[in-house]
């Protein structure tokens, strides 16, 4: 029984979020080192779906059919960086609003918060 369950498992997961303007979100996530792995465009040439990746981090973005109220989003993305302070400084220099590095009990090496262009919350923690 356990062997059958192991074969029937879901062994991969990529979050997919809606974006008001996919191109704008791609530019933001490029600041985090992510690159386009795959994409689809509509008949006007506008991005309607994209798969982004940097190392083991993956994210898919799909064009939203309407406005995305930031206050109604019930998801956040947790990312890791080997150089938390350097990434924070890079984002600030690129005009991105970021919060101070905090050191909560679950992330004693530090983390900071920022938001993407559609208001999705990103917490970025220091990896080993």
Q: Please, are residues 51 and 38 in contact by the beta-carbon 8 Å criterion? A: yes
Going by C-alpha positions, the residue among 88, 113, 109 that lies closest to residue 99 is 113
Q: Look at residues 90, 93, 95 and name the one whose alpha carbon lies nearest to residue 124.
A: 90
Q: Per the structure block, which two tokens stand in for 27?
A: 């530019």
- Superfamily of domain 12-126 in CATH is 2,3-Dihydroxybiphenyl 1,2-Dioxygenase, domain 1 (3.10.180.10)
**Residue 58's pLDDT is what?**
97
pTM of the model: 0.87
Q: What residues have CB less than 8 Å from 14, skipping those under 6 apart?
A: 51, 58, 59, 60
Stretch 4-13: mean pLDDT, rounded? 72
pLDDT computed for residue 11 by the predictor? 80
Please list the residues that pair with 115 across neighbouring strands. 121
74 touches 64 (CB < 8 A): no
Question: Rounded distance, CA 38 to CA 50, Å?
Answer: 6
pLDDT of residue 2: 62
Residues of the chain with pLDDT > 90, as a percent, come to: 80
Q: Per-domain residue ranges for the chain?
A: 12-126
């Amino acid at each position: 029984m356990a062997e059958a369950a192991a074969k029937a498992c879901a062994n991969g997961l990529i979050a997919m979020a809606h974006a008001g303007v996919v191109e704008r979100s791609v530019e933001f996530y490029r600041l985090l080192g992510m690159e386009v792995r795959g994409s689809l465009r509509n008949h006007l040439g506008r991005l309607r779906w994209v798969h982004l990746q940097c190392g083991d981090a993956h994210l898919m973005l799909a064009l939203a059919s309407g406005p995305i109220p930031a206050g109604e989003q019930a998801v956040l993305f947790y990312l890791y960086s080997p150089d938390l302070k350097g990434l924070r400084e890079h984002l600030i220099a690129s005009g991105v609003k970021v919060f101070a590095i905090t050191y909560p009990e679950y992330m004693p090496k530090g983390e900071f918060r920022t938001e993407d262009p559609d208001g999705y919350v990103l917490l970025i923690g220091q990896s080993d």
